Amino acid sequence: MSTSVSSNREHWLDFALHSALGPAPTPSKTWLSSVLNTLKRSMPLGRTPFERLFDGVSNKRIIIAGLDAGGKSTLLRNHISVDKGKDVETRIPYVGLALENVCYPSGVTFHTLDVGGCSPQSYLKLEETVCEVADAVVWVIDAGDRDRAVEAVYELRRCVYSKLEKWDHDDAKTLRGRAALVMILINKSDAKHSLTMRHIYDSLANVCDTKIIFETDAISGKGVNEAFSWLAGQLRHGVTAQSDKKEKEKSIPEKY
């Protein structure tokens, strides 16, 4: 894990986090599991094309977050799962936060997280902390739900970027925001009159680069591999979205 739990965090929060996410992913220790992993690596046919995108990435925790009905579970079950959804583990820890998880043998784990609604203050803090301890946050926005676009962007800013927003007046160290690496998916791009990258980029103009935004359709799979291939590349090379200045800006259509 790239980010350690801050020392001044309240004890209940550490406990809730452990309960929600389990221990941080670690490499397999037994000789048998390492032999099996080696065998699995040398037999790539048994793995899905999606899993192969993450070759060379190990022990990373990726949170797939966003408002309800954005398509997080669909992404997890249709694309990330290696066993048609049978390997999706649903965990409802005592805090009541429902998380679905998929874990690859490499230690790359994906967790979905529902954000927003009328959650009590303690949940908001937990959501922010989950984003903070993740190696990457994939924020899913429902492109077909224009009515909640403002809420989706508000929650994204709160959960992922609120430290960044303090930066102008505060401390340069917080420039990267709360999460180490962020990718925004505008999912359901197949929906009629859907939101586009331009809408979201305009709402986030001061806090993110265009290159972290992708349009996806989790049902047909359009755009999904492209987006996660970018994410895997960032994780593989240890580059954070905000610090990689050399990458060319993605061009966004002017009109929407």
Ligand X SMILES: Nc1nc2c(ncn2[C@@H]2O[C@H](COP(=O)(O)OP(=O)(O)OP(=O)(O)O)[C@@H](O)[C@H]2O)c(=O)[nH]1
Known binding-site residue numbers: 66-73, 117, 187-190
Q: Is 73 in the site for Mg ion (CB under 5 A)?
A: yes
What is the four-CA torsion angle of 16, 20, 25, 30, rounded to 10 degrees?
100
Give the residue closest to ligand X by C-beta: 71
Q: What is the DSSP letter of 98?
A: -
* Least separation in angstroms between CB 53 and Mg ion: 22
Cα 197 to Cα 105, 207, 214, distances in angstroms: 34, 14, 7
Q: Name which of 9 and 199 has its Cβ closer to ligand X.
A: 199
**Smaller CB distance to ligand X: residue 139 or 161?**
139
**Among Mg ion, ligand X, none, residue 191 binds (CB under 5-8 Å by kind):** ligand X
When CB distances are held under 5 to 8 angstroms depending on the partner's kind, the choice from ligand X, Mg ion, none that residue 74 binds is ligand X
- Bridge partners of residue 103, in order along the sequence: 109
* List of residues 6+ apart from 154 with CB closer than 8 A: none
Smallest gap from Cβ 34 to ligand X, in A, equals: 34
List binding-site positions for Mg(2+).
Answer: 73
Task: Check if the beta carbon of residue 139 is closer than 8 Å to that of residue 227.
Answer: no
Report the half-sphere exposure of 235 (CA within 13 A, side-chain side).
28
Nearer to ligand X, 60 or 188 (CB): 188
Q: Are 102 and 22 in contact (CB under 8 A)?
A: no
Is position 101 an interface residue for Mg ion (rule: CB under 5 A)? no
Q: Is 74 in the site for Mg ion (CB under 5 A)?
A: no
Feature table: binding site for GTP: 66-73, 117, 187-190
Query: Contact positions toward Mg ion, by CB under 5 A?
Result: 73
